[in-house]
Chains A and B, each alone.
Chain A
Amino acid sequence: MSGIEETVESVQVNEGKEFDVEVEEHIEDEFAVDPTRYIFYRDRKEWADLEPVPQDDGPNPVVKIAYSEKFSDVYDYFRALLKNDEKTERAFALTADAIDLNAANYTVWHYRRVLLQALSKDLKEEMKYITNIIEEQPKNYQVWHHRRMVVEWLNDPSEELRFIADILSQDAKNYHAWQHRQWVIQEYKLWDNELEFVENLLEEDVRNNSAWNQRHFVISHTTGFSDPAVVEREIQYCLNQIRKAPHNESAWNYLKGMLQDRGLSSQPGLLERVLELKETHCSPYLLAFLFDCYEDALENITQKEKVEEEEQKETLRKALEICRLLAQEKDTIRKEYWEFLGRSLRNKYGNGSLTEQPVFQLCVITASVHR
């Protein structure tokens, strides 16, 4: 999904399907009229009883859309159906035409759902229908919501994981697809094979942030991240992926994201393992991770009773050096940010905030003032 705009701008892929109205020149033929020829609703005998309702844009419309004749015809009749609250087969059939012309019309989708229930339509058929529509227009909100409703009504998620996997095979980061997948898994407790699914995706593209997110989703809802064995396994996994692709921000974010609640310095040996990587697999993300480790250490040092002042100063010095390095050389696009962090850190842990101020220095200053 490319963002909020998908609410309002789904890509129109149906242009080629616009039928031209052909003047039927061979009406005298013995052969039947081509059944696939499109006929406007206004020309259909079965619809003659219904008065179409033109759109009420008012006398001075703005943001006018140049509707095709087909579009206006379908929607004039849709409005008529809505006005009469008609709940018939023909109404149901028309919703498919209306959707085909604008799959983002949520009013039509809502009406179709009302009809599905009122007419006790075959929901398995509806699943086939919505499957096809989503394959054509996978970045549309309404189609996925509609599928969810049908799955709920059927209480049958059996096709979902496979279907979503197919959509993801075409676009591994489709936000709607992942949203639907997480809903299905959570609602119907389909956790069992998901970690394997995620690992396969990461094998295909270790930079797929959606897959990393899904990894976090699965683990946090199953084993959780409190189990030290799980954490160690995940750290191992991250570091392996980092060795393969050092400039993969997702892996570093995952490492930090997993540990930040407990504190990065709570994981013994981690800092050392990362420092090892610094020589051969350095990146702005590695450096930022080191910074975060040092900051976390400072956070925890000041809470302990026995404090090696030198140790604290050294940690602070290393943290500030990383800020400088990032701001001035390695991650200059974020210069304002790294400089802010440096100032913040210095303000919080710097000279002025050390707990012990040697007394004799104050006397010297006082003495010199009175000279």
Chain B
Amino acid sequence: LNRNCLDASRPWLCFWILHSLELLQEPIPAAVASDVCQFLARCQSPTGGFAGGPGQHAHLAPTYAAVNALCIIGTDEAYNVIDREKLLDFLWSVKQPDGSFVMHVGGEVDVRSAYCAASVASLTNILTPKLFENTTNWILSCQNWEGGLSGVPGLEAHGGYTFCGTAALVILGKEHMLDLKALLRWVVSRQMRFEGGFQGRCNKLVDGCYSFWQAGLLPLLHRALYKEGESELSQQRWMFEQQALQEYILLCCQNPTGGLLDKPGKSRDFYHTCYCLSGLSIAQHFGNMDNHYEVILGKEENRLAPTHPVYNICPEKVAQALQHFLRMPVPEIHFRSNKRGRSVK
């Protein structure tokens, strides 16, 4: 199986695999954890941020994946890999005047970048309002006539981008500025009445990975509506058919030799394994620590660990990382570099 195409995505492989193991409540041996830390350290760019592999340029997607992977490991060795000052420099180097971020210097803009930036900045405590100036408005401009969000303003609403935009706004505390009702209607309409899984866009096919990108929006919206004073929210269920999604994942998305996939007939891969399991976890667990309801389809052993709907790592790991990095001061920026990255019109 030719995996050359992932040679610029190796931190993603670390994240997909580590997150899958943590959902399966499979411990990571200390030696493996340490090896991952050292490898990701080699993926870190001297100018900040993480690249797809050693010697490559920094890019927001592997940066997101690397930081998440290190937070899953959660040891001091892992946290210490991250050069926070340089990371902040990197984020500034990809920030655009209109509030958006390019994915890498000289690269493309879309809403994924805002999520990647907000995720790593918040977890490592380097977030400042100035860094995300105009970002809220840019993300909001991605909500379209369908109610969902597109990759850039004007395009079709799409599950992956909708998740990124919404989760980024949650991190920035601005999710209430979305048309939440329209977004809710759009996302619940993405669950397929026959398959039980989710499609990425209206009138397209089901895909196991949307079990997370789409279904993961329901916990975010539940909380957002609750904060807006919505009194009629269920106290036991998310607003999607949890059992049907579990059925789709367990009955249609498993490879008999292990691993998960898009839909029957497709081959397994670590990306789908990660996101099918993440979606399964969302479908199994309602609520938070204080109020927790479970719906487990099948055997008790099918229960996965809960996952945090914003970061998609386990909630304990989020809390632990926040606790670790909040003890440190927010770094000063070394230089203002809006002109450094090639701006995309």
Interchain CB contact (< 8 A) of B201 among A15, A56, A113, A209: A209
A152 to B108, CA, bound (A): 14
Q: Is the CB of B5 within 8 A of A104?
A: yes
Q: Is the CB of A334 within 8 A of B188?
A: yes
Q: Is the CB of B156 within 8 A of A56?
A: no
Q: Is the CB of A8 within 8 A of B155?
A: no
Interface string of B1-36 (1 = CB under 8 A from A): 011111111101110010000000000000010011
Query: Shortest distance in angstroms between A282's beta carbon and chain B's nearest beta carbon?
Result: 15
Among the 9-residue stretches B92-100, B145-153, B328-336, the one with 4 or more Cβ atoms under 8 Å from chain A is B145-153
Q: Any chain B CB within 8 A of the CB of A105?
A: yes
Contacts A8-B271, A175-B155; is A113 near B10 (CB within 8 Å)? Answer: no
Q: Any chain A CB within 8 A of the CB of B215?
A: no
For chain B, give the interface size range. Answer: 35 or more
Among the 9-residue stretches B78-86, B202-210, B277-285, the one with 4 or more Cβ atoms under 8 Å from chain A is B202-210
Interchain CB contact (< 8 A) of B42 among A56, A107, A144: A56
Q: Is the CB of B36 within 8 A of A9?
A: no
Q: Is the CB of B108 within 8 A of A145?
A: yes
Q: Which residues does chain A contribute within 8 Å of B67, judged by CB atoms? A: none
Q: Is the CB of A104 within 8 A of B155?
A: no
Interchain CB contact (< 8 A) of B57 among A9, A110, A113, A175: A110
A67 to B191, CA, bound (A): 39
Contacts A63-B10, A106-B59, A333-B191; is A182 near B238 (CB within 8 Å)? Answer: no
A179 to B158, CA, bound (A): 13
Q: Is the CB of B156 within 8 A of A178?
A: yes
Q: Which residues does chain A contribute within 8 Å of B234, judged by CB atoms? A: 336, 340
Q: Is the CB of B271 within 8 A of A9?
A: yes
Interface string of A50-65 (1 = CB under 8 A from B): 0001011111111101
Q: Is the CB of B160 within 8 A of A3?
A: yes
Query: Shortest distance in angstroms between B315's beta carbon and chain A's nearest beta carbon?
Result: 22
Q: Is the CB of A56 within 8 A of B345?
A: no
Q: Any chain B CB within 8 A of the CB of A254?
A: yes
A248 to B203, CA, bound (A): 8
Q: Any chain B CB within 8 A of the CB of A10?
A: yes
Q: In chain B between 175 and 202, which residues have their CB closer than 8 angstroms to a CB of chain A?
A: 182, 184-185, 188-189, 191-193, 196, 200-202
Q: In chain B between 89 and 128, which residues have their CB closer than 8 angstroms to a CB of chain A?
A: 103-108, 110, 112
Q: Which residues does chain B contribute within 8 Å of A15, judged by CB atoms? A: 2
Q: Which residues does chain A contribute within 8 Å of B51, judged by CB atoms? A: 107
Contacts A106-B59, A145-B108; is A178 near B14 (CB within 8 Å)? Answer: no
Q: Is the CB of B8 within 8 A of A104?
A: yes
Interchain CB contact (< 8 A) of B107 among A1, A63, A106: A106
Among the 9-residue stretches A84-92, A210-218, A271-279, the one with 4 or more Cβ atoms under 8 Å from chain B is A210-218
Contacts A58-B38, A179-B155; is A213 near B146 (CB within 8 Å)? Answer: yes
Contacts A105-B7, A207-B203, A213-B155; is A344 near B232 (CB within 8 Å)? Answer: yes
Contacts A7-B9, A60-B35; is A178 near B155 (CB within 8 Å)? Answer: yes
Q: Any chain B CB within 8 A of the CB of A208?
A: yes
Q: Is the CB of B159 within 8 A of A3?
A: yes
A67 to B151, CA, bound (A): 33
* 25 A-B pairs with C-beta separation under 8 A: A2-B209, A3-B210, A8-B12, A8-B52, A8-B61, A8-B271, A9-B5, A9-B9, A15-B2, A61-B35, A65-B4, A65-B6, A65-B7, A102-B7, A105-B7, A141-B108, A144-B108, A145-B108, A173-B204, A209-B201, A250-B202, A334-B188, A334-B240, A337-B184, A347-B232
- Taking beta carbons and an 8 Å cutoff, which residues of B are in contact with A? 2-10, 12-14, 17, 32, 35-36, 38-39, 42, 51-57, 59, 61, 103-108, 110, 112, 144-147, 151-152, 154-161, 164, 182, 184-185, 188-189, 191-193, 196, 200-204, 207, 209-210, 213, 230-234, 237-241, 244, 262, 269, 271-272, 345
- Taking beta carbons and an 8 Å cutoff, which residues of A are in contact with B? 1-5, 7-12, 15, 53, 55-63, 65-68, 71, 75, 79, 82, 101-107, 110, 113, 141, 144-145, 148, 152, 173, 175, 178-179, 182, 186-187, 207-210, 213, 216-217, 248-250, 253-254, 257-258, 260, 331-337, 340, 343-344, 347
Apart from A3-B207, A3-B210, A55-B54, what are 20 other A-B pairs with CB-CB below 8 Å?
A: A2-B207, A3-B209, A4-B112, A9-B9, A60-B38, A65-B7, A68-B4, A103-B5, A105-B7, A106-B107, A173-B201, A209-B202, A209-B204, A248-B203, A253-B146, A257-B145, A331-B193, A334-B240, A335-B241, A336-B240
**A-B pairs with lowest CB-CB distance, top 10:** A257-B145, A8-B9, A343-B232, A4-B160, A63-B13, A213-B156, A209-B202, A60-B35, A107-B56, A145-B108
